[in-house]
Amino acid sequence: MSEKEEGTLFNLFVHSFGDPVSTEARKRREKRAGMSEKQRNRKAVRTEQVNFRASPAIAEVARKLAAKLDCSVADVMEKALTAFAEAHKVKVPKQ
């Protein structure tokens, strides 16, 4: 195969995926389509990860609260920490 044919085949291959702008838009649409309704409706975007150890009893309480409030454990923890901070007069930034 000549170099020119190789270049032509490569260009056909590259352009079969669409331009990068539409590819990025497609990726955003696919990511949003893969989210649950709750995730799409959530206003705050979680970008930080916080890990801590808890007793099995506290972990169970968090799961039960999440089930009762029909939200995630992360939502429960955000609400609990916000309420605790406000009770101790610690300013909580708006999201």
The model's confidence at residue 4, banded by pLDDT at 50, 70 and 90, is: low
> Any alpha helices (H) in 37-72, and if so which ranges?
37-41, 56-69
Query: What element of type H or E holds 23?
Result: helix 20-33
Q: How far is CA 19 from the centre of its chain?
A: 26
Task: Take residue 84 and report the two structure tokens written for it.
Answer: 């605790």
Q: What are the C-alpha distances in Å from 2 to residues 6, 14, 15, 39? A: 6, 18, 20, 52
pLDDT in tens, 12-38: 666 666 666 677 888 888 887 887 777
Residues with Cβ within 8 Å of residue 76, at least 6 apart in sequence: 62, 65, 66, 69
Mean pLDDT in residue range 61-82: 93
Percent composition of the chain: helix, strand, coil (DSSP 3-state, to 5): 65, 0, 35
Residue in the structure block whose two tokens are 């939200």 = 71
The whole-model pTM stands at 0.55
